[in-house]
Structure 1
């Protein structure tokens, strides 16, 4: 089984972070995933998805990753905010502190939970 692990995208709402726009790197990663790794089963996208956990950053992050052509499984990090994440991704259940998932790769079933 092949899967992709994408982590620490640190997207911000606008502008640059430490002199760079994190979305430029994220777009390159999404393009590479779709072009060079379309045979993967899914993407595990781990935090820190945004740098400050604000709604504008999640909106921008959401627009960019929706281009990924396979299922995405999320795990928030310490820079992420679960309430803001949940507002941007209502289809993904929220956890009280950190959003986690478990996936049994032998049976290819996935369960969400804390």
Structure 2
């Protein structure tokens, strides 16, 4: 089972440009997923899929996804708006208006939750959403489960993008997850950086964005003293591949830019491949 992840598309950042930069970056990633050697079984899009939550951007995004030969499961982040999202992508509603749903796969479950509070940059997770998650996880305690969400509930070190571990929404989420040991980990976006971190005995896998990335700068930042540091950088558009090997979910991070080939599998490397394969038990 191969699960692709894209995040932070921010489509509509340049709304009047038919050749929008963020759309080109999205298309480059979709090209790799559709035409490359690792075509996934499904694609999850983990929030901030538009920049302003407008209907036109969701319509363009739906058109972009329409060429995918695999199902696409979208969710929302702090740049999205629920009503236009639901209008473009019906069927991802938990019954209370939140974008929350479960994906039932043969060997594992993906449970998507909604961490959007409209008008707030950081995450949110109210009592109603927590109750839905608790009930949804209780439906199948025996199958390995991963929670899919936009905001990671951790302090990353990129100070202006941090989530404080004492925020109420983090505590609410944590208390639910602790009750369900089948939850193996979280799959997130938001940071515009590929990050892996241990949390509550589980793994959080955070994917870089298809849109431009956040600069990797772990210095303290003073809101009263701009210091001219880079904030957003134009690294290649990124994606993740989460491979379920029957035991663990193995996360790979890659980009849609050029890859210089230094060696190919030909007769010269055939002995090495044979040797490595022979070392493995049947």
Report the TM-score when normalising by structure 1: 0.79
Return the index of the structure with the highest Cα Rg.
2
The question of whether the paired residues in 1 share the 8 Å contact of 2:55 and 2:84 is answered with yes
RMSD (CA atoms): 2.6
Q: Which residue of 2 aligns with 1:15?
A: 16
Indicate the structure whose relative CO is greater, using CA pairs within 8 Å and at least 6 residues apart.
1
Q: Which residue of 2 aligns with 1:71?
A: 71
**Can you give the 5+ residue segments of structure 2 that lack an aligned partner in the other structure?**
114-131, 133-282
Q: C-alpha offsets along residues 47-99 of structure 1, whole Å, 9 cap, x if unaligned?
A: 11000000111111111111111011122111111110111122x23344641
The question of whether the paired residues in 2 share the 8 Å contact of 1:74 and 1:101 is answered with no
**Can you give the 5+ residue segments of structure 1 that lack an aligned partner in the other structure?**
none
Higher share of residues assigned helix: 1
Q: Which residue of 2 aligns with 1:94?
A: 93
- Aligned-partner SS, 2:101: strand
**1:41 to 2:41 alignment:** yes
The question of whether the paired residues in 1 share the 8 Å contact of 2:75 and 2:112 is answered with no
Moved >3 Å (runs of 4+): 95-98, 103-114
The count of corresponding residues between Structure 1 and Structure 2 is: 109
Give how far 1:112 is off: 7.4
Distance in 2 between residues matched to 1:97 and 1:80, nearest whole Å? 14
Report the TM-score when normalising by structure 2: 0.35
